Amino acid sequence: MSELLKVNNLDVRFDTARGVLHAVKGVSFDLKPGESLGIVGESGSGKTVLSRATMGLLTMSTAKKSGSVKLNDVELTDLSRSDLRSKWGTEMAIVFQDPMTALNPVRRIGDQIAEGPRIRLGMSKKDAKQRAIELLKMVQIAEPEKVLKKFPLQLSGGMRQRVMIAIAIACNPEILFADEPTTALDVTVQAQILGLISSLRKQLNMSLVLVTHDLGVVAGHTDKIAVMYAGEIVEMAPTKELFSNVRMPYTEALLNSIPRITNQSGIRLPVIEGRLPDPTLPQNGCGFSARCKYATEKCHTERPQLVDGGNGHMYRCFFPLGVNK
């Protein structure tokens, strides 16, 4: 199968008052039709910037982007704004993190969902309303006719996120970006929303890029996982392979810091000491070296490259775990 989305060496810098902030450093990944990719990393690792830069949604004048993003063999970075706009919604769509702010507070739910089909697909008012009801049913909202007439503040957080998903899939996109879709929600609702996104992906044969800071979230819902650290992909592998053969010490540290029900009580939860390196400073050596318990002199001075360890498993480390050299 050929690739639907090919991101090659994508690089994003911001001009800030403190200097150039290197948010995304030469990231490459690709996605087949119907495939799902989870992008995991802690706050500030560049996940959100990566997903928005891939879509071309970074419009601030301070953002400088280089590299290539190909969707169906069309180079997106060369497109004019209006050509790019014609791809948004119909070929790629995004679900935002906070459903409180991503819905317009003064417009009815029905109008907001019908907007895409009306304007992008040229449906009549009546058809668009039908489509809105259909979409609300797809995202499993009971009594869609009633919900259409409501304002966002009359819905719960989980309902709002369902509405956001309905808006995003309204024009049948080929790729859905979900930017931390469950972070603002209750734990009980999180599972439902993730399940919903997964089942919609299969039902509509969409590709999915799921951005999150929670490894547990991506575990059951994506085919591949990319772990990001300080703007770089540090490990990327098919989900099963990643969880059974962790190579990168950072991923191992992330996994160790997930609380487990089998943990003995009274024992401190392992945390990753230290912080992300300052993204405005040039970086020598591995970005994780300052926090890595296996780090040697070489890690502090030389930059590791992304190497292929077989089975589609890529990692960026001189001393990968479980590999003897």
Partner 1 sequence: MFKKLSLFSKLSVLWVGLMFFFAIAGRLLPIADPTEFFEVQGAGLFSPGHILGTDMNGYDLFANIVVGSRYSLLIAIFSVGFGSLIGGILGIAAGYLRGKTDYVLSVLFNIFLSIPNLILSLVLIAVLATSSDPNEPASETRRIIVIIISLTIVIIPILGRITRGATLAWTSSEFVVAAKSMGMKDMMIIRRHIVPNVLPSIYAVAFLAVGIVIVVEGSLSLLGIGVGNGTSWGSMLARAQGDLEYAPIALFVPLTFLGLTVIACNQVGDALRQRLDSRESKL
- Residues near partner 1 (CB under 8 A) are 55, 57, 59, 61, 85-90, 93-94, 96, 98, 101-107, 111, 115-116, 119-120, 151, 153, 164, 167-168, 170-171
C-beta closer to partner 1: residue 208 or 253: 208
C-beta closer to partner 1: residue 150 or 291: 150
The span from the CA of 161 to the CA of 164, in Å, is 5
Question: Minimum CB separation from partner 1 for residue 104, in Å?
Answer: 5
With contact defined as beta carbons under 8 Å apart, do 313 and 241 qualify?
yes
The span from the CA of 59 to the CA of 81, in Å, is 10
Tokens for 162, please give them.
């369902």
C-beta closer to partner 1: residue 71 or 242: 71
Q: Which stretches of the chain are assigned E, i.e. beta strand?
A: 5-16, 19-31, 36-40, 63-71, 74-75, 92-95, 175-179, 207-212, 224-229, 232-238, 307-308, 314-315
Question: Minimum CB separation from partner 1 for residue 158, in Å?
Answer: 18
Question: Minimum CB separation from partner 1 for residue 116, in Å?
Answer: 5
C-beta closer to partner 1: residue 85 or 298: 85
* Long-range Cβ contacts of 144-148 (<8 Å, 24+ apart): 147/109, 147/110, 148/108, 148/109, 148/110, 148/113
CA distance readout (Å), 7 to 73, 77, 279: 11, 11, 22
Question: Minimum CB separation from partner 1 for residue 102, in Å?
Answer: 4
Indicate the Cα dihedral angle 46, 170, 195, 206, nearest 10°. Answer: -70
Question: Minimum CB separation from partner 1 for residue 202, in Å?
Answer: 23
C-beta closer to partner 1: residue 115 or 241: 115
Question: Minimum CB separation from partner 1 for residue 192, in Å?
Answer: 21
C-beta closer to partner 1: residue 71 or 170: 170
